[in-house]
């Protein structure tokens, strides 16, 4: 039996096409972590753009999560492993690419703002009261956005929280979680 034949027989044994399984699992996991931070503190860290994105995702998450759970639970053990592996691979590639693009964007923004400062455009904008108000609002908005992202990263990537999440998911769905770990490892390595 060749590798290609073994993989295609594994993919055909699932009750749902592999791409749909991947998209289903991706949606399920992505949307299930969105509101996790808000239950831990009374202070709301969801200001700025990050808060708006999370509120929008939360309105979509509830109906999609229900359908995703129903379909994922119908998969065979192999199907759950394959869906987990596909999602883990895709999620790790997404994480790597988005991190690289974020660093590039921040670097480009820094250079652009330094050029604006050197040209005197930012100094001119700060010289009026109206300009000061706009700059203060922009700064506050960006700080609220950064604070929301920082808080969510701290909450969701805390090593203890990650270990608890892995343990809980291993008890609930060993095949999908093992597949996710395998796919994520391959995504980071390749």
Distance separating alpha carbons of residues 63 and 66, to the nearest angstrom:
5
Q: What is the pTM of this model?
A: 0.59
Q: Provide mean pLDDT across the span 168-174.
A: 88
Cα distances (angstroms) measured from residue 29 to each of 5, 22, 178:
30, 11, 14
50 and 148 in contact (C-beta within 8 Å)? yes
Element (H, E) at 66: helix 48-73
Pairwise pLDDT comparison (66 vs 19), residue with the higher score: 66
pLDDT at 11 over 50: no
163 and 48 in contact (C-beta within 8 Å)? no
Q: What pLDDT does residue 24 have? A: 55
Q: Provide mean pLDDT across the span 28-42.
A: 47
Band of residue 18 on the pLDDT scale cut at 50, 70, 90: low
Structure tokens, 79 = 């199907």
Q: What pLDDT does residue 40 have? A: 47
Q: Provide mean pLDDT across the span 58-79.
A: 86
Closest CA to 82 of 173, 180, 189, 166: 180
Tens-digit pLDDT profile for residues 147-160:
888 888 888 888 88
Q: What pLDDT does residue 47 have? A: 67
Tens-digit pLDDT profile for residues 84-122:
999 899 999 988 988 899 889 888 988 988 888 888 887
Band of residue 134 on the pLDDT scale cut at 50, 70, 90: confident
Distance separating alpha carbons of residues 117 and 114, to the nearest angstrom:
5
pLDDT at 43 over 60: no
């Amino acid at each position: 039996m060749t590798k290609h034949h073994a993989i295609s027989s594994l993919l055909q044994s699932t009750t749902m096409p592999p791409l749909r399984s991947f998209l289903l699992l991706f949606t399920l996991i992505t949307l299930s972590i969105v509101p996790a931070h808000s239950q831990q503190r009374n202070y709301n860290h969801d200001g700025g753009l990050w808060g708006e994105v999370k509120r929008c995702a939360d309105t979509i998450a509830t109906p999609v999560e229900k359908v995703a759970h129903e379909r994922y639970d119908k998969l065979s053990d192999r199907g759950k492993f394959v869906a987990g592996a596909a999602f883990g691979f895709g999620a790790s590639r997404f994480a790597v690419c988005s991190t690289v693009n974020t660093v590039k964007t921040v670097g480009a923004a820094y250079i652009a703002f330094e050029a604006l400062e050197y040209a005197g455009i930012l100094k001119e904008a700060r010289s009026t009261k109206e300009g000061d108000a706009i700059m203060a609002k922009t700064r506050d908005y960006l700080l609220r956005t950064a604070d929301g992202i920082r808080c969510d990263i701290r909450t969701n990537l805390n090593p203890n929280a990650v270990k608890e999440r892995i343990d809980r998911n291993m008890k609930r769905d060993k095949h999908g979680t093992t597949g996710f770990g395998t796919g994520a490892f391959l995504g980071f390595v390749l």
